[in-house]
Amino acid sequence: MIVPGLGTFLRHTSAAKLNAWGITPPSCEISFSTDIDSENDVELAASLARATGCSAEECDRIIAADVDDMRRAIASAGYAQLGTLGRLEADGDNLTFKRTQAFGGAQALSWLKPLELQEIAPEKAEPAPAENRTDTPEHTSFIRSLHRTASSAAAIALLALIAFVASQIPRRRSAEPQMASMGIERLATNEVNMTSFERPSEREHALVLILNTPADGMSIVKPKEKDAPALSAELSDTPGRYCLVVASLASDAEANVFIDSYPRHKLNLLEKDGRYRVYAASANTINGVKDIARADSLYAAFPSAWICRN
* Mean pLDDT on 275-293: 91
For the stretch 97-146, pLDDT in tens is: 787 776 655 555 555 666 676 777 777 767 666 555 666 777 788 888 88
- CA-based max dimension of the chain: 156
Q: What is the mean pLDDT of the chain?
A: 73
3-state secondary structure 40-102: CCCHHHHHHHHHHCCCHHHHHHHHHHHHHHHHHHHHHHCEEEECCCEEEEEECCEEEEEECHH
The pLDDT value recorded for residue 287 is 92
Q: Is 289 helix (H, G, I), strand (E, B) or coil?
A: helix
Task: State the pTM of this model.
Answer: 0.32
Cα separations (Å) of 110 from 12, 16, 211, 263?
Answer: 15, 12, 101, 121
Going by pLDDT thresholds of 50, 70 and 90, the confidence category of residue 227 is very low
Domain 2-116 has CATH 3.30.360.10: no
Q: Is the Cβ–Cβ distance between 245 and 252 less than 8 Å?
A: no
**φ, ψ of residue 89 in degrees (nearest 5):** -115, 145
Sequence ranges of the domains in the chain: 2-116, 203-221+232-309
What confidence category does residue 226 fall into, taking pLDDT thresholds of 50, 70 and 90? very low
Q: What is the DSSP string of 188-209?
A: SSS---------GGGTTSPP--
What is the pLDDT confidence band of residue 246, given thresholds at 50, 70 and 90?
very high
